[in-house]
């Protein structure tokens, strides 16, 4: 029997138990109401792949209002999609605008970004891998090391007559980001991966219209409500209470219940912070934490090893994908990248040991008729460099396997592995040549792309004997690569390797 004190509530039959519980909790406290409203807005604006995605976005937003005072570490969000037009950028901007002190990284100068980071800005980063070089170096440094309280980045500043002096600035803050290409494994260990999908045709007009309106009206009263909630919550949640909670045995048993096979200490750290944030917000997200780690665990690995894989991929791409690189040259190129990031460099003794820890055994051998040790970029090594990303592996291997220009794979491989560029046959050498020319022109162009004609002409650093390739042959290769998904047409007649 209903009365005024305990009326019966009815919910739609197609609602999940988690969604129903969220609305029941929201009747009881403002934190849960805020959490529910953020989730509802995310579901209205975007097409998420899983129901826990908007809930993790809401948890991230709550985190940004409490981390400066209470948190030892933070977690990141990485928006990812294998589809173009899946609103990764818009979703990154959405959570950043809801965050406390949110700043989108784009057309900012390095000094301005340094000052914002030093003040604890919550960064939203669109296409990390496509930022200008100066911004990219700083942003990647902030992403790799800025998840932990006390993290700083050092630099030397000119102090006029006093000369130069060292200075460190804060890089500790939550960060939301996305990539143009594949997510970098070195960053995924600090992040929950939010998979975005392209909006369904029947919803595209409504969702695009809602996002346009949001650009005009902003977040409405959401941020002021979050600020008011923080002021009230901080009266109950002091740093002492957080320390006591983190040490509480029942709290630790709850964290233990989320742990699954393959969990790393980093995973457990993030479980602590997610659960702490949920307690502060007054919501139950145990199921979401389990599902988030199950989805993101494929990106989690040992820090030093994952950074080494990142460096190997960069070096290999930068050297135009050679079959091998000598150990001394590889160490020099890796150390150059570590120096730019202000990380310790490897000595000749330590470098081979790190490679061995990373699983490189058969890949390290002496070059025939040379004697120098080298790292060979075999298929197995490429799968380590590009783990869990079949698209990246495909794009690598599709440029080395034999095929005819008609599009069918060549059955007799021995007949195709030749050092000559025989007309009418797509040899390994020809494919590598075209790929190299495309990447050179992409690096030199403002839009990061190349035109088909660029592949036909000799580059400045090629020998005078390098062939000039006919236009019709190039067009056949481009069509094949577009069909395979390893080439992307950014604008009419302008292409970029994926």
Domain ranges of the chain: 17-299, 302-391, 398-498
CA-based angle 365:366:372, to the nearest 5?
130
- Kindly report the pTM of this predicted structure: 0.59
CA 379 from centre of chain: 23
Give pLDDT, residue 427: 56
State the CATH architecture for 398-498. Orthogonal Bundle (1.10)
Among residues 66, 75, 56, 88, the alpha carbon closest in space to that of 143 is found at 75
Specify the 3-state DSSP secondary structure of 374.
strand
Higher-confidence position of 267 and 225: 225
Tell me the pLDDT band of 471, cut-offs 50, 70 and 90.
confident
Helices (H), 341-496: 350-357, 379-385, 390-397, 428-444, 452-456, 471-484
More confident residue, 66 or 346: 66
Tokens of 110: 């390095």
Cα–Cα distance, 323 to 377 (Å, whole number): 6
Q: Judge whether 296 and 193 are in contact, CB under 8 Å.
A: yes
Establish whether domains 302-391 and 398-498 are of one fold. Answer: yes
Note the pLDDT of residue 414.
Answer: 30
Rank 330-334, 392-396, 415-419 by mean pLDDT and report only the highest. 330-334
What fold does the segment set 302-391 form as a domain? Arc Repressor Mutant, subunit A (1.10.10)
Exposure on the CB side of residue 287, measured as CA atoms within 13 A: 13
Q: What pLDDT was estimated at residue 297?
A: 55
Please report, to the nearest 10 degrees, the dihedral formed by the alpha carbons of residues 132, 138, 140, 141 taken in order.
160
């Amino acid at each position: 029997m209903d009365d005024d004190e305990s009326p019966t509530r009815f919910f739609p039959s197609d609602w999940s138990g988690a969604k129903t519980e969220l609305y029941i909790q929201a009747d009881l406290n403002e934190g849960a109401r805020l959490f529910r409203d953020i989730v509802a807005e995310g579901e209205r604006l975007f097409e998420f792949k899983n129901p826990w995605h908007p809930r993790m976005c809401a948890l991230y937003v709550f985190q940004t209002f409490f981390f400066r005072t209470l948190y030892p570490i933070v977690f990141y969000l990485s928006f990812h999609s294998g589809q173009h037009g899946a609103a990764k950028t818009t979703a990154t901007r959405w959570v950043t605008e809801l965050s406390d002190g949110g700043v989108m990284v784009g057309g900012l100068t390095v000094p301005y970004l340094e000052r914002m980071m030093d003040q604890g800005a919550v960064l939203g980063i669109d296409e990390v891998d496509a930022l200008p070089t100066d911004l990219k170096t700083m942003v990647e440094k902030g992403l790799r090391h800025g998840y932990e309280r006390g993290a700083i980045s050092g630099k030397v500043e000119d102090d006029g007559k006093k000369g130069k002096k060292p200075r460190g600035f804060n890089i500790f803050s939550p960060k939301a980001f996305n990539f143009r290409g594949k997510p970098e494994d070195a960053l995924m260990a600090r992040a929950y991966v939010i998979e975005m999908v392209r909006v369904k045709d029947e919803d595209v007009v409504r969702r695009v219209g809602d996002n346009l309106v949001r650009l005009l009206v902003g977040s409405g009263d959401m941020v002021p409500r979050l600020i008011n909630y923080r002021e009230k919550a901080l009266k109950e949640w002091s740093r002492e209470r957080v320390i006591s909670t983190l040490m509480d045995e029942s709290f630790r048993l709850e964290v233990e219940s989320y742990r699954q096979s393959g969990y790393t200490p980093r995973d457990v750290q993030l479980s602590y912070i997610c659960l702490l944030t949920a307690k502060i917000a007054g919501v139950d997200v145990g199921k979401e934490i389990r599902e988030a780690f199950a989805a993101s665990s494929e990106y989690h690995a040992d820090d030093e090893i994952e950074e080494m894989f990142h460096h190997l991929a960069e070096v290999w791409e930068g050297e135009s994908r050679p079959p091998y690189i000598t150990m001394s040259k590889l160490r020099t190129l890796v150390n150059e990248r570590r120096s730019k990031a202000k990380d310790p460099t490897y000595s000749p003794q330590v470098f081979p040991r790190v490679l061995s820890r990373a699983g490189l055994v058969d890949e390290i051998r002496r070059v025939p008729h040379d004697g120098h040790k080298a790292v060979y970029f075999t298929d197995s090594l490429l799968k380590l460099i590009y783990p869990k990303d079949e698209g990246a592996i495909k794009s690598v291997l599709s440029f080395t396997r034999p095929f005819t220009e008609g599009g069918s794979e060549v059955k007799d491989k021995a007949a195709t592995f030749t050092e000559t560029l025989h007309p009418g046959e797509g040899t390994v050498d020809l494919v590598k040549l075209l790929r190299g020319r495309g990447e050179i022109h992409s690096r030199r162009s403002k839009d990061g792309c190349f035109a088909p004609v660029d592949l036909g002409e000799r580059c400045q650093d090629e020998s005078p004997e390098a062939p000039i390739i006919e236009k019709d042959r190039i067009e056949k290769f481009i069509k094949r690569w577009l069909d395979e998904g390893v080439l992307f047409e950014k604008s009419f007649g302008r292409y970029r390797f994926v």
